[in-house]
Amino acid sequence: MILPLPGERAGVRTAVQSIVPALLSWFCTSARDLPWRHTRDPYAIWVSEIMLQQTQVKTVIPYWERWMQELPTIRAAARATPAKLHKLWEGLGYYTRVRNLQKSAQQIITNYDGKFPQNFEAVLALPGIGRYTAGAICSIAFNQPIPILDGNVIRVLTRLYGIPTDPREKQTNTRLWQLAGDLVLHASRITHHAPRPNSRTRTRMKDEDDQYCSHLNQSLMELGALVCTPRSPDCAACPVQKTCVARKRNLQEQLPNLSKREVPTERRFIAFVVERNGKFLVRQRRDGVVNAHLWEFPNVEVGTRVCDLQPSAAKGLGLRTTETKPLRTIKHSITRYRITLEAWRAELAVPARVLASDPDQSLNTNSPGRRPELQGEWRTLAQLHQLAFTSAHKKILGILEKRG
The active-site residue out of 49, 208, 222, 342 is 49
Query: Looking only at residues 220 through 249 of this chain, which bind ligand SF4 when binding is defined by CB under 6 A?
Result: 227-228, 233, 235, 238, 240-241, 244, 246-247
**Closest Cα partner for 22 from 206, 225, 148, 195?**
195
In the residue annotation, 266 being an active-site residue is answered as: no
Contact with ligand SF4 (CB under 6 A) among 15, 20, 154, 156: 156
Give me the DSSP letters along 18-86.
HHHHHHHHHHHHH----GGGG---HHHHHHHHHHHTTS-HHHHHHHHHHHHHHS-SHHHHHH--HHHHH
Q: What's the distance, Cα to Cα, between the start and end of the chain in Å?
A: 65
β-pair type (265-276, 279-284)? antiparallel
Query: Looking only at residues 251 through 290 of this chain, which bind ligand SF4 when binding is defined by CB under 6 A?
Result: 252
- The least CB distance from residue 184 to ligand SF4, in Å, is 17
Q: What is the helix (H) or strand (E) element at residue 334, kind and residue range?
A: strand 321-334
- Closest to ligand SF4 by CB, 35 or 151: 151
d(CA 148, CA 257): 20
- Closest to ligand SF4 by CB, 139 or 252: 252
Q: Which residue type does 53 have? A: Q
- The least CB distance from residue 148 to ligand SF4, in Å, is 17
d(CA 211, CA 198): 16
Contact with ligand SF4 (CB under 6 A) among 159, 186, 393, 394: 159
Q: Could you tell me how many residues of this chain bind ligand SF4 (CB under 6 A)?
A: 14
d(CA 290, CA 95): 8
- Closest to ligand SF4 by CB, 45 or 184: 184
Taking CB under 6 A as the rule, does residue 21 contact ligand SF4? no
Positions in the binding site for ligand SF4 (CB under 6 A): 156, 159-160, 227-228, 233, 235, 238, 240-241, 244, 246-247, 252
Task: Supply the residues annotated as catalytic.
Answer: 49
